[in-house]
C-alpha cells in the first residue's frame, strides 16, 4: 500500500511517501500501520516531535475516506497521514 505523509508527518518521517506491505504489519489494520510507521521512522520535526508523536494528532484517510484505527487495510489501500493544519 502507499502511505503519503503531509506537513509535520512528512518532516518527521523524512520522506513524503512509502510503500508498505501487509506482511510488515502485526495485523491488517490502520492501527497496526500507525504503530509500524512510528517504530520505523525515528526522525523528528524541527520542533523535536517524532512521527509517533505527530501521528497522535493526525487524521488518516484510506482511499480518501477518514478512518479510525480499527479500519481494515488491503495491499491496494492508499493512506494519507494528515496532521492538523493551521490549528485545525
CATH at residue 34: 3.10.20.30
Instruction: Give residue-wise pLDDT tens across range 28-54.
Output: 999 999 999 999 999 999 999 999 999
Q: Which domain holds residue 16?
A: 1-80
Provide the grid cell at 36.
509500524
Which of 23, 34, 18 has its CA nearest to residue 71?
Answer: 34
Cell of 77: 489501500
C-alpha 41/C-alpha 88 separation (Å) is: 25
Short-list 40, 60, 62, CA closest to 50: 40
Instruction: Report the predicted TM-score, pTM, of the whole model to 2 decimal places.
Output: 0.93
Assigned domain for 87 exists: no
Total number of domains in the chain: 1
Tens digits of residue pLDDT in 45-88 = 999 999 999 999 999 999 999 999 999 999 999 999 999 874 54
Q: Residue 88: inside a domain, yes or no?
A: no
**Count of Cβ atoms closer than 10 Å to residue 27 Cβ:** 12
What is the tens place of the pLDDT at every residue in 15-31? 999 999 999 999 999 99
The answer to whether residue 65 sits within a structural domain is yes
Amino acid at each position: 500500500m502507499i502511505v503519503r505523509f503531509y506537513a509535520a508527518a512528512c518532516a518527521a518521517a523524512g520522506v513524503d511517501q512509502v510503500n508498505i506491505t501487509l506482511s510488515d504489519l502485526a495485523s491488517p489494520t490502520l492501527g497496526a500501520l500507525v504503530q509500524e510507521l512510528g517504530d520505523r521512522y525515528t526522525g523528528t520535526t524541527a520542533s523535536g516531535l517524532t512521527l509517533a508523536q505527530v501521528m497522535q494528532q493526525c487524521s488518516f484517510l484510506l482511499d480518501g475516506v477518514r478512518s479510525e484505527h480499527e479500519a481494515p487495510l488491503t495491499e491496494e489501500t492508499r493512506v494519507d497521514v494528515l496532521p492538523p493544519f493551521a490549528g485545525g
